[in-house]
Structure 1
Amino acid sequence: MLRVLLVDDHPLVREGLGRLLERAGARLVGWAQDGEAGLQLAKQLKPDLILWDLAMPGGGLTPLPRLREAAPQ
């Protein structure tokens, strides 16, 4: 089963995508509403896939280089 982390600042988007993922057979292992929280959860949970909102205020793209260092796979 695909383990997914969802990082998005809009609650309705998180809820809707989470439901779609679960219906498709994926497991939502966590969600975050900003890039910093997403980075911490990615390090902790080590998901197979991260869906990351690049247009989030306050750091959509900013934490991504640090994520690559923490989880190069």
Structure 2
Amino acid sequence: MARILVVDDAKFMRLTLTNILENANHEVVSEAENGKEAVELYKKLRPDLVTMDITMPEMNGLEAVKEIKENDPQAKIIMCSAMGQQKMVVDAITAGAKDYLVKPFDESRVIEAVNRVLR
């Protein structure tokens, strides 16, 4: 069981991911609506894994990944993006994200990515 921080500006997306993760026996320790909140919660909670949306207000997922990785080079982050954001996904992987998921979420793909990144 991993402790996971779910980051997305859409409540529905956070709820969907939380349900998928909890069904797979992971613990969602907190949720964040933007990158700024994600960075603060990461520092405070030190989760095993972060699912990070790319497009968010205040601070986007890309900036948040960079900041989290500066604080903790070992951080495990999976990016979440809508279709057609390939360039941003590539930038996120370059910044240190370990994998990415495309919305709408496919439950088996989410679990597979989470398990692979946690290994």
TM-score (norm 2): 0.58
State how far apart, in whole Å, the 2-side matches of 1:4 and 1:56 are.
Answer: 19
- 1:55 CA drift (Å): 2.2
Stretches of structure 2 that go unaligned for 5 or more consecutive residues are: 75-119
Matches within 5 A, 1:11-30: 11-30=11-30
State how far apart, in whole Å, the 1-side matches of 2:38 and 2:17 are.
Answer: 16
Matches within 5 A, 1:1-73: 1-58=1-58, 59-73=60-74
C-alpha RMSD over aligned residues: 1.1
Identical-pair percentage:
38
Task: In structure 2, give the amino acid aligned to 1:65.
Answer: K
- 1:63 CA drift (Å): 2.2
Aligned length: 73
Between structure 1 and structure 2, the one with the greater Rg is 2
TM-score (norm 1): 0.91
Identify which of structures 1 and 2 has the higher relative contact order when contacts are C-alpha pairs closer than 8 Å and 6+ apart: 1
